[in-house]
Structure 1
Amino acid sequence: MTTSTTTSTRRTEVQQLAEFVDRAAFEDISPEALEQLKIRVLDTLGVAIGALDAEPIRAVRGLLDDLGGVPSATMIGGGRTAPDRAAFFTSALSRYLDFMDSYLAKGETGHPSDNLGAVLAASESVGGTGKDMLTALAVAYQVQSRLSDEAPVRRAGFDHTTQGAYAAAASAAKALGLPAEQIAHAVAISGTANNALRVTRTGTLSHWKGLAYPQVAKEGTFAALLAGRGITGPEEVFEGNKGFKQSIAGDFTIDWSTEDLEAVLRSIIKRHNAEIHSQSALDAAQEIRSQSGFDADAIESVRLTTFDVAHSIIGGGEEGDKRTVRTKEEADHSLPWMLAVVLLDGELNPGQYEPSRITAEDVQQLMTKVEVTPDEGFSARFPDEMPADLSVTLTDGTSFHASRSSYEGFHSDPLDWDGARRKFDLLAAPFAAADLRDEIAGVVHVLESHAVADLTAALARVRTTRVHASDTAA
């Protein structure tokens, strides 16, 4: 008689993932990947600090202060709370400006740096080392990236934070030092409970666009804390009856026994403060603006040909019209608005998202002249390239043209430490004097030689209100 394999003798898919997380070691990270992880940490912290005085962030911070929490994890700008709440706050900061890194898969785009909040809070709460933190962050990049590759969910109506639920829990559990069995339960709990709807990023956009991943960071951290107390989760979360595959993603296979910790090398960093698929088009707009004879006040029409994902998400395709722009959330996901403001201002940084600039008549009028068209050939080149072909015609018939397939920060031209430091200083300067910025960057650059508490102690001294430029100068 043949005896069927049972879950008591068979390693489920989440158990196999947990074994990968458990065996991940700092020594497995290549020097190239380690440097890029540190660049991502510095970049993410700069983006987070730059958001400290944003209205939604102030509301979140006020709520966390009212709720309290066991003070075992530090919040940027000072104060301590429970790890899951600190994870939410740091992730909210790093997401608000929409200036973080990205991972491009054919059917999914995620932002692995969103996991820093969970990793930082979990690591600090157990007295972790910089090596522990960097290893857990490398795990987050690997898990989220590989699930984005093999199990995209956007076309099924779910948000990319769905894959993040697995990455946040896996990395938080790793940072907490949980054994493989408890890592599996943490991932199963978080993955089962956090399947977010894509309506988060379609139509009229709300504050939740920037808070959807913080929610996942919080819940992934809480799932890891639960698992650490012996709480179990569905052991067949991936392959089980009405599990992730059957209900949402469809069938896919990832052999976690062959995975490494190098996915960070395939992630990219934003050059412009804008949705990731716009980056090459905005570079093209800057080139046109620099050409002799260009006059932004005399633009008759703007025509962009690009790849299908950019058109679908930010260009007025399947995720809704992008010419009703009243808020930051709508502006940074509107390719017509972003092209218009770059053609007018020459840049797209946090200053362009001031409410008065978002609704200014010149940019509102110019974005109505922008036409975005997808191209099959360009689409076939994505995600290895981000093709954008931009033409601008003036009222006198003069035409300007520029094409881009990548940008500084893309795979073909990765950001180096000096570039990351310049971006960090640009964003953090209003909240931290030069000596504090030097201290934070210095700790990050040799984080493997520090305790996580060394980094969070410096982050606690960042101001939550802007200081005068003369006070932050080098």
Structure 2
Amino acid sequence: MTQVQILAGFVERARFADLSIAAVEQLKIRVLDTIGVALGALDAGPIGAIRKLVAELGGRPLSTLIGGGKTAPDRAAFFNGALSRYLDFMDSYLAKGETCHPSDNLGAVLAAAEMRQATGAEFLTALAVAYQIHTRLSDVAPVRDKGFDHTTQGAYAAAAGAAKALALPCDQIANSIAISGTANNALRVTRTGALSHWKGLAYPNTAMAATYAALLAARGITGPEAVFEGNKGFMDTIAGPFEIDWSKEDLERVRLTILKKHNAEIHAQSAIDAALDIRANPHFAAIAVRALRLKTFAVAHRIIGGGEEGNKRIVRTKEEADHSLPYMLAVALIDGQVQPEQYAPDRIAATDVQQMLRKVTIMPEARLSALFPQRLPAELEVELEDGTVFSVQREDYHGFHTSPFDWTAARAKFDRVSRTFTTAAERAAIADVIATLDERPIADLTELLGAIRSHAAAT
């Protein structure tokens, strides 16, 4: 058997009963979190443009668009994925050489599950499958340092999740994964230099293609059976050799994914906590800051601190701001929070934060890098004009796997981020359905999501 056939066997065998109680709880929390940040983005400019395009192109109404309307499953996967990605407030998984966002798979799995009229338990199982594959491939087959985007591993995960949600047999699951994995190898330039809208749309594009791959496979279309180990396959051309014994894998990896406390790139979370600790000191005054000095781990410096992925002191757009550690530290010290409001165009352009971010110096430290990814170490010093120095060290934050969100914390974030576009009754209904999703049809959730109306959808 080829590697993709063995992987397909793992996908086919997966059952809801395989999930531990703790994994089910965390999986539901991830669904609540992902839906919440999607609702919070309903009126974003790029989302409105995508909605208009979907309306112009049409599509058989088999899958719900969050915020109203239905379309074909692949287009629903793209649109809903774009919503959940836009705020950059979604979950993450940290591997030594890769960072991914497994909630990116929800759009594909939800669209496929609704098309098939699946149960909530079947949806959750398919989503758990996608989480497991995405995180494990990130562990053993990182591609970032080879110039490829982390959506590359996601092409396998999203296709597997969609195929599972469609209840495809093993051979069609294998073909779904093979087609998607072969076709979707994206470039890391997505997240380097001057960042564009594509930063938030790269994975939705992968989810759309993966959903379509599963639908093709369901109709007998085949893909390269040696996609992993074959001549010019994934191992040969991109990842190098790796091994995963899928016969020994479970569905528990969701428990090692982490949620964002702050609306900021994941590697910034503990550093922002440190900044807020300093701001809480009664002798601190943001207007008096002379310099900020952060010591952190190499990955944070590389991606958001001004390392190899670009100058992070040039901040003009939301996409640049939420991947700029200098901006996020500066705005945290001034505003006392890093939430969606901190990415409004006027806030980004304001003189106070633009001046403050230029006072930030970020240095990678080998001793801190050695702690990653088990910890997210940050050592922050803030010096005032009178010479006073405040210093705070942090290694994790609330939302990290050492201090995970419970349902109460997840619900508080959900309510806050989605309140602009929902009533209290709508939020309560959605949360209640997700909490009992394993006892319901998936339609109970999609009906509620389709009933939410944004201004963009109404017009």
TM-score range normalised by the length of the shorter chain: over 0.9
State the SS of the aligned residue for 2:293.
strand
1:410 aligns with 2:400: yes
Aligned equivalents of 2:208 and 2:321: distance in 1?
A: 27
Aligned equivalents of 2:371 and 2:22: distance in 1?
A: 26
Q: How does 1:63-462 map to 2 (within 5 A)?
A: 63-462=53-452
Offset at residue 465 of structure 1 (A): 2.9
What RMSD over aligned residues (CA atoms) do the two structures have, in Å?
0.6
Offset at residue 59 of structure 1 (A): 0.4
State the SS of the aligned residue for 1:401.
strand
Match in the other structure for 2:32: 42
Of 4, 10, 18, the residue aligned with 1:28 is 18
Q: Deviations over 1:87-137 (max 9, x none)?
A: 001100000000000000000000000000001100000100000000000
Aligned equivalents of 2:383 and 2:142: distance in 1?
A: 38
Offset at residue 402 of structure 1 (A): 0.8
Offset at residue 292 of structure 1 (A): 2.0
Aligned equivalents of 1:36 and 1:401: distance in 2?
A: 34
Q: Which amino acid aligns with 1:333?
A: H
Aligned equivalents of 1:258 and 1:465: distance in 2?
A: 48
Q: Deviations over 1:157-199 (max 9, x none)?
A: 0000000000000000000000010000000000000000000
Q: Which runs of 4+ in 1 moved over 3 A?
A: none
Offset at residue 428 of structure 1 (A): 1.1
Aligned equivalents of 1:400 and 1:457: distance in 2?
A: 51
Aligned equivalents of 1:463 and 1:338: distance in 2?
A: 31
Aligned equivalents of 2:335 and 2:350: distance in 1?
A: 12
State the SS of the aligned residue for 1:132.
helix
Aligned equivalents of 1:269 and 1:463: distance in 2?
A: 26
Aligned equivalents of 1:348 and 1:463: distance in 2?
A: 26
Q: Which amino acid aligns with 1:268?
A: I
Aligned equivalents of 2:43 and 2:11: distance in 1?
A: 36
Aligned equivalents of 1:462 and 1:378: distance in 2?
A: 44
Offset at residue 404 of structure 1 (A): 0.5
Aligned equivalents of 2:451 and 2:331: distance in 1?
A: 34
Of 45, 55, 77, the residue aligned with 1:55 is 45
Offset at residue 22 of structure 1 (A): 0.3
Aligned equivalents of 1:39 and 1:14: distance in 2?
A: 30
State the SS of the aligned residue for 1:21.
helix
Q: Deviations over 1:292-315 (max 9, x none)?
A: 210000100000000000000000
State the SS of the aligned residue for 1:268.
coil
State the SS of the aligned residue for 1:269.
coil
Aligned equivalents of 1:422 and 1:436: distance in 2?
A: 14
Aligned equivalents of 2:373 and 2:24: distance in 1?
A: 23
Q: Which amino acid aligns with 1:26?
A: F
Match in the other structure for 1:472: none
Offset at residue 463 of structure 1 (A): 2.0
Q: Which amino acid aligns with 1:376?
A: A
TM-score by length of 2: 0.99
Q: Deviations over 1:374-405 (max 9, x none)?
A: 00010010000000000000001011111100
Aligned equivalents of 1:67 and 1:422: distance in 2?
A: 37
Offset at residue 461 of structure 1 (A): 1.3
Listed as ranges, the gaps of 5+ residues in structure 1 are 1-10, 467-474
Aligned equivalents of 1:461 and 1:349: distance in 2?
A: 26
Q: Deviations over 1:195-215 (max 9, x none)?
A: 000000000000000000000
State the SS of the aligned residue for 1:101.
coil
Could you tell me the percent identity over the aligned residues?
A: 65
Aligned equivalents of 1:52 and 1:432: distance in 2?
A: 11
